[in-house]
Structure 1
Amino acid sequence: MLLGVAITPLLVRILGSESYGEYAFVISAFAIIGTFARAGISAGIRKYIAEDRSERAWKEHVFVFYARLATGLVLLVATILILFGWYGPADRLVGPGFSTYILLLAAMLVTDQLFYVTRYTLMGLHLEKYSEPLSVLKQLLFGIFGLSLAYIGFDVAGALAGTAIASLVCAFVATWMLREHIDITAVFRSLPSEFPQRDLLSFNIFNTVFILLTISLYNVDILLLQPLAGSQQTGLYKAALVVAEFLWIAPQAAQIVFIHSSSELWSRGNLDEISRMASQATRYTLLFTVLIALGIAALASEFMQLYFGPEFDAAVTPLLLLLPGALGFALARPIYAIGQGKGDLRSLIVATGTAAVINLVLNLFLIPRYGMAGAATATSIGYGSMLAFHYIVARRIGYNPISDLRVTRVGFTAAISAPVIFGLAYAIDSSVFSLVVVPPVGFLVYSTLALRTNAIESEEITSILDNAPSPISRWLINGIRYIS
């Protein structure tokens, strides 16, 4: 997160708002096309490797199946892109330079696929201590290579090439780490006849549809805005999206972990523990994201101008429109990840598909009339509907993700904190000073109220901090106990 916060404004300033719009368009296309190339592989690896099956060398066979599937799919998709880049009408249909971008997109897909398989295999083996630092390394390498290449004159192409280089390096590192836990040479040997390839493939097909629908929720607006409103508005809107997606920091982490964690619980039929875990995670997510949303809303203008530059002040309106929906989507993430862990994806597809259709229709209707404000409104409604639909699915498949939500207490905490946060932001004239003062003061007020109202209990926080013993954690524990 911190690397992204540091890299994004540098990339925007190097590229400028128009080129950044082109970059955003390509990255959105990468997300959509990558969904087909990945075919739900990351979720499949985490789900099936985590299952404790009696079959000999089960984990190794799962890795072999997904490594072969991933390689075949990405080579097929990359070949199509290369042919389209060389011979297709991309420059004429989208804009100058897009043929080169498509060729680089093919390279990005191949290197990213290698990293995906190895990283998520490590995660499925509960080796997050290896898999997650690799994501940090990838972001760091993108900052080094992508920014450098863009700065010396390669612009958007340089940033895309930097992404491919970063993924390739991390794929090699992940493979090296994996060799002690999986026999990687097994990819050259046949799978046993009793291995349930059809079951895994069926899960992946449904998961691909589910992920594609999810990805469309936060890419279809960019893909429609570029041809309908131009690169400059797309760049401004992308900046608003980047900031709104700060709300997903915590729920994305929960989403990643819950697929393989809940898969083990589902396999044992432990519905009570699933409900407890889901409701606790939903409440934590609600508390954390409401705090971030209040801070972003109070400091939107100051942050956008300082972070992206004065020309991005126009992105404040779409940012504010996006926040309510981004909050709803944040709450939906851990809920549908637990549903993925169960493996019953039909209900998830119906729920996400309904939200995706709402999002698409509203974007088609509102973008031609209201530009990026219309895109933000449509997307916010689409995001928010995910929470409602996936709550219904959760109840249908047997668990309650809001049994311990404590909505009244969280709402009271937010209602009392908001005037303090907004009033302090309004009272301070200096943009820099307000960005320095308002966040820590707002956090202190909000967290104190959360503890006092029992929106979160001190024991819940200290039990987490106790697992990370250090002088800082002991100091935090003592402070929390004093406040509560």
Structure 2
Amino acid sequence: MAFSFSSEESGGNDQSVSDHSVSSSGIYWTVGAFALVSLAGIILNQLIASKLGVTSLGRYNSFLAVIIVGGQMGSAGIHGSVLYHTPKFRSESRPTGQVLVGALTATTVTSLLSTGLIVGIGEVLLRAAGNDYYLKGLHAIALGLFLYPLNKVLLSHINGLRRIRSFSVLFASRFVLLAFFAWGANRFFDGDQHLLWTITLTEVVMFLALLFTVRQELIRNPKWEALNENVRAHFRFGIRGLIGGMLLDLNTRVDILLLGVIAGSESVGIYSIGSLFAEGLYQLTMVPRYSYDPVVTHLIVEERHTELKDVVQEAKRKTYYLIIPIVAIANVCYPFVVGILFGEDLAMDSWKVFGILSIGLVLSAGYVPFTNLLQQAGKPTRQSALLGAITGVNIILNLALIPLFGMVGAALATAIAQVSLIFFLRGLARSVIGYRL
């Protein structure tokens, strides 16, 4: 069964190693977390748009995209290695602290290198262009850019331990902190320059909270003598999954990045309102993924393939049943809700963006929870091929359609790329799991 409807939850303490059910309480915690993420995202965007304008909103979201995409480069796929090896070590009754210590060591090196590269290149280009605003913005997010990959590793380890309560609270905290600090920057400072420092401040607080949460893992059987071996294992896995890891986050931001380059910050500001609400729906379909990722690894490592098939089929069915009516209701309510929050003009301009993106989500919803299936099966190269194919479709279509249709073109390109997940995942996974998804 895909869901075990019991009062026991999978957070707090690690679940029993032999228990591979996905508890209802674990799902409720992640649903609650993503509801909070969506609410915080709405508040954040509404605050910036209403107080500082759509252009400032576009700038903020552009720098946030740099953090996410650049931070993915800095993690070098190691967070994916953690999400695979942590449940694997649990199935093999090996101390999971070894996984975390090796991953943090490796990621510190890769994040330093990638942050230095991004900031260095940005410094040269922005000084040459005389763009003082973006240069100061780059300096503001530099520390956050370094910490983001470390935070991804720490979150992945908590997820791999199936501590769903802790994972849900900490995941939601990032977006709550972004909104809270943005409110503070707007309240106590003039203009939007200080706004970008709130991104770095959020990552600093997250890093401290995550370290506190996993403190026992760092001191309980870390096996420091095995550090070199663990670091090498993470690098090997990470390199094979690097492209996939980078593209997983890039694929959710490529429309905004290309729209900003081709059409400008104002278009990004309007588009980001529609995509914000569509992202909320997308995250709702992603909620089961955080419970299923470690379960997939456990079942594959233990060669329980029939049980895995049952889990996947039931999860797909439940996800489609959930998302179809929600998307229909959301499209009806969108102009009224967004009109209240952002004004009637922005609501109408962004409604078509939301509608197109939500159609792509409806069609692919059942497969979204298993986006990481190939990685969790220990096949990071295939995972990279999957996400490379999807992102390639996304980039090509965005470049082709944005010049013709502007924001609508970006939405169409992103929706089609989302649907392509179905075909690419089914093709690549069949030989790995022995049946067609």
In structure 1, distance between residues paired with 2:70 and 2:363: 26
Bigger-Rg structure (1/2)? 1
Say whether the 8 Å CA contact 1:274–1:399 is kept in structure 2.
no
Say whether the 8 Å CA contact 1:22–1:156 is kept in structure 2.
no
Distance change (3 Å), C-alpha of 1:395 and 1:10: same
Alpha-carbon displacement from aligned partner over 1:16-69 (angstroms, at most 9, x marks no partner): 111111112222222221111012222211211211479896422211210111
Say whether the 8 Å CA contact 2:106–2:235 is kept in structure 1.
no
Alpha-carbon displacement from aligned partner over 1:213-254 (angstroms, at most 9, x marks no partner): 233322222111112111111111111111111222332222
Indicate whether 1:59 and 2:96 are aligned. Answer: yes
In structure 2, distance between residues paired with 1:94 and 1:41: 36
Indicate whether 1:33 and 2:67 are aligned. Answer: no
Letter in 2 for 1:31: I
Match of 2:371 in 1: 336
What's the CA shift for 1:98? 0.6
Distance change (3 Å), C-alpha of 1:149 and 1:192: closer
Instruction: Classify the secondary structure of the residue corresponding to 1:126.
Output: coil
In structure 2, distance between residues paired with 1:12 and 1:185: 49
Letter in 2 for 1:26: F
What's the CA shift for 1:190? 4.3
Distance change (3 Å), C-alpha of 1:314 and 1:174: same
In structure 1, distance between residues paired with 2:198 and 2:87: 33
1:365 to 400, 409, 423: 400
Match of 1:298 in 2: 332
Alpha-carbon displacement from aligned partner over 1:129-167 (angstroms, at most 9, x marks no partner): 223212233322222222211343355443332222222
Say whether the 8 Å CA contact 2:41–2:276 is kept in structure 1.
no
Indicate whether 1:327 and 2:327 are aligned. Answer: no
Q: Identical aligned pairs, as a percentage?
A: 21
Scaled by the length of structure 1, the TM-score of the pair is: 0.76
Say whether the 8 Å CA contact 2:372–2:383 is kept in structure 1.
no
Scaled by the length of structure 2, the TM-score of the pair is: 0.83
Say whether the 8 Å CA contact 2:242–2:384 is kept in structure 1.
no
Distance change (3 Å), C-alpha of 1:54 and 1:367: closer
Greater Cα shift, 276-285 or 147-156? 147-156
Match of 1:13 in 2: 50
In structure 2, distance between residues paired with 1:258 and 1:154: 45
Match of 1:251 in 2: 285
In structure 1, distance between residues paired with 2:63 and 2:130: 11
In structure 1, distance between residues paired with 2:314 and 2:129: 49
In structure 1, distance between residues paired with 2:328 and 2:253: 25
Alpha-carbon displacement from aligned partner over 1:310-362 (angstroms, at most 9, x marks no partner): 33121112221222212344333222222221011333333322222221111
Match of 1:435 in 2: none
Say whether the 8 Å CA contact 1:278–1:400 is kept in structure 2.
no
Match of 1:472 in 2: none
Distance change (3 Å), C-alpha of 1:290 and 1:181: same
In structure 2, distance between residues paired with 1:382 and 1:239: 20
In structure 2, distance between residues paired with 1:48 and 1:126: 13
Instruction: Classify the secondary structure of the residue corresponding to 2:47.
Output: helix
What's the CA shift for 1:111? 2.8
Indicate whether 1:4 and 2:41 are aligned. Answer: yes
Greater RCO (CA < 8 Å, at least 6 residues apart): 2
2:216 to 171, 177, 180: 180
Distance change (3 Å), C-alpha of 1:314 and 1:96: farther
What's the CA shift for 1:71? 0.7
Instruction: Classify the secondary structure of the residue corresponding to 2:65.
Output: helix
2:311 to 277, 280, 292: 277
Match of 2:109 in 1: 72
In structure 2, distance between residues paired with 1:154 and 1:370: 36
In structure 2, distance between residues paired with 1:56 and 1:378: 45
Map 1:116-265 onto structure 2 (within 5 A).
116-153=152-189, 155-183=191-219, 189-191=224-226, 195=229, 197-265=231-299
In structure 2, distance between residues paired with 1:25 and 1:175: 28
What's the CA shift for 1:266? 0.6
Greater Cα shift, 150-159 or 96-105? 150-159
Greater Cα shift, 120-129 or 383-392? 120-129
Instruction: Classify the secondary structure of the residue corresponding to 2:217.
Output: coil
What's the CA shift for 1:196? 5.6
What's the CA shift for 1:363? 1.0
Say whether the 8 Å CA contact 1:49–1:62 is kept in structure 2.
yes
In structure 1, distance between residues paired with 2:428 and 2:86: 25
Distance change (3 Å), C-alpha of 1:336 and 1:303: same
